[in-house]
Homo-oligomer: A and B are copies of this chain.
Amino acid sequence: MCYMGPCRILGVRAAGKATIGVCGATADTIVARNLLRETIGGAASHTEHALEMAEALLDIAEGRLTSYTIKDAGKLIAVAKSLGVPTEGRSKEDMAKDVATIALNDIAKYDKEPMAFLKAYAPKSSYETWKKLDIIPSGAMLPIMNGMHRTSMGNDADPVNILLADLKLGLVDGYGGLTIATELSDIIFGTPKPVHSYANLGTIKEDYVNIAVHGHNPMLSEKILEVAERLEPRAREAGAKGINIVGVCCTGNELLMREGVSIAANEMQAESVIATGALEAMVVDFQCIWPILGQVASCYHTKLITTMPYVKIPGALHIEFSSEHADEIAEKIVGEAIAAYSNRDPARVNIPSEISEVFAGFSVEAIVGALSRLNPKDPLEPLITNIVNGNIYGVVGIVGCPNPKERKKLYTERLVKGLLKNNVMVIVTGCTAHITAQEGLMDPNKIDSFEIGAGLKAVLKAVGSASGLPSLPAVLHMGSCVDNSRIGVLLKALSEKLGVKVSDLPVVASAPELITEKAVAIGTWALDLGVSVHVAPALRIEGSKMVTEVLTKGLKDITGSVLIQEEDPDVAIETILGTIREKRLALKLNA
């Protein structure tokens, strides 16, 4: 990170090779610094997402933004209560103003007080651990700045101190990023409820004006959906049967979870959506939007439309989004798509027929709702009872994106199926949700086509049938990647109800096709919480024995979790099951 470098050293003595840099930095220091910068990249992404949601909520509350409303008053009240904001006899706007202001403060402040969202959403025992480690952030942006400073030349050289900063950034990500983004999105657009839809490229409709929304932010895509309905007549005038909105990546997940919009493709398949030849426009906001889309779109009639000032792609049409002019901008974008329809070359249309039914929308509120049909007074009881009796052996959250390095192994599918076979309940978010949806694992009607452990299957069917379904789907879709905060909420509820630490629960996280810095940040937050995290490919830490040891072993005595790096899905399944077994044994449950 300086112009004596780049530092390329071997951590161990070898003929003619340096063991330390010119400045004296060891492999441990170098690796820890690099890891911290990766985590910062992720935490910064999520925090800016959260900032945009908080600014929007404040603008709505203060009447500056009239094209959006507060759709979910119940969620607003719940969030307000957890933050200690008075709710009695207050208007939605007044409460929303307080909630948004607290969120904005959490992001920007630099005092010594813990972030309010962290205090409200942290599991109690985790909070105590973090306090002892002195890693609780007071605001989100300061540790981002400090992390870039401390990793610059001639600052922190102590790998343990740098790893503590990394753990702090995990908390920035979890509370300054994920939690604020998710909770505020729910307030504005509604908390997801169980919803039926479709997945895969077969959701592109030949006779329609097809618009794919891609990225992570629901602000624009929700508007496009709304406007598209209004502009249906114009699409019909242009010769189409209507307008078909499909989701890509996590913007897709946001719209699926709240509006039932079909999800056509994960981040890695975005090119394929264009290559159907039937896509009029791909509208992107931020994150995971590969620059190659510009080149691919140029081979077709498709308009690639960028909308964020800080996400531009050579070859794309840039129509800048601003929430104040959301309707107008969405109309312009949908208009561009309708206009492009006449340029479509029917000879080049080739839409794969693959399509899966999807049952999604499993916010914590939705899960509690489904469980309360079994036990209205104590909805978590059926879940706990079945974990205790072993019908549910454990719970694994599988998150992240497809990585071409792992995709060829079908890593995600193999991991998920291996766990289901062993009665492990699988919850998914992000592009992992796309992969499992495409595999049919979210179709309740297909529950018997997969080899699922008898205990787990019975639970899925029981909960499903109480809600009038043949079953819950084999895997539960909890949302986009920022929605990993929902898993945090669930863990808090379970650990506090049982009076055990999160690290005592038979729960593991996995990013089986790790690709983004965001996944590194989310995984760091999971490690903070005491949830062991499996990743493939391995993090770039193997140049440092010490960093590797701390994360894969030493952390167990600190937060109660470890990092599991495993490239082979079959071995990963065994290791994850072993971790769950250990937790069950410690809780004196049958293992």
Interface residue ranges, A against B (CB under 8 Å): 1-4, 6, 20, 22-26, 29, 37-38, 40-42, 44-45, 47-48, 51, 55, 104, 107-110, 139-142, 144-158, 161, 165, 267, 286-295, 310-314, 403-405, 514-519, 537, 540
Contact = CB atoms under 8 A, between A and B. Distances in A.
A4 to B, nearest CB: 6
Contacts of A108: 108-110, 139, 141
Nearest to A22: B404
Contact of A292 (B2, B6, B24, B150): B24
Contact of A44 (B41, B139, B149): B149
Contacts of A140: 145
Given A2-B517, A41-B148, A537-B3, A26 B291 contact: yes
Contacts of A165: 310
Contacts of A23: 290-292
A45 B517 contact: no
Contact of A518 (B44, B152, B158): B152
Nearest to A44: B148
Contacts of A154: 267, 287-291, 516
B516 A314 contact: no
A48 B161 contact: no
Contacts of A1: 38, 41, 517
A23 B45 CA distance: 18
A148 B148 contact: yes
A6 B519 CA distance: 16
A3 B148 contact: no
B403 A3 contact: yes
B295 A145 contact: no
Contact of A155 (B26, B151, B286): B286
A2 B520 CA distance: 10
B24 A294 contact: yes
A165 B1 CA distance: 20
The 10 closest A-B pairs by CB, nearest first: A24-B292, A157-B291, A44-B148, A158-B312, A154-B288, A141-B141, A23-B290, A24-B291, A150-B310, A41-B152
A312 B157 contact: yes
A109 B145 CA distance: 14
B292 A20 contact: yes
A345 B38 CA distance: 45
B517 A153 contact: yes
Given A44-B146, A149-B287, A157-B294, 15 more contacts: A24-B290, A44-B148, A45-B149, A45-B155, A47-B149, A108-B108, A141-B144, A144-B148, A149-B310, A150-B310, A152-B518, A153-B517, A157-B312, A158-B314, A165-B310
Q: Which of A42, A141, A144, A152 has the most CB of B within 10 A?
A: A152
Contacts of A537: 3
A24 B141 contact: no
A149 B48 contact: yes
5 contacts: A24-B290, A37-B37, A45-B149, A152-B516, A155-B286
A385 B149 CA distance: 42
A152 B291 contact: no
A110 B311 CA distance: 19
Contacts of A145: 44, 47-48, 51, 140-141, 144-145
Nearest to A144: B145
A161 B310 CA distance: 7
A48 B3 contact: no
Given A23-B292, A26-B291, A311 B155 contact: yes
A42 B3 CA distance: 13
A517 B1 CA distance: 7
A3 B291 contact: no
A153 B44 contact: no
B51 A110 contact: yes
A403 B3 CA distance: 8
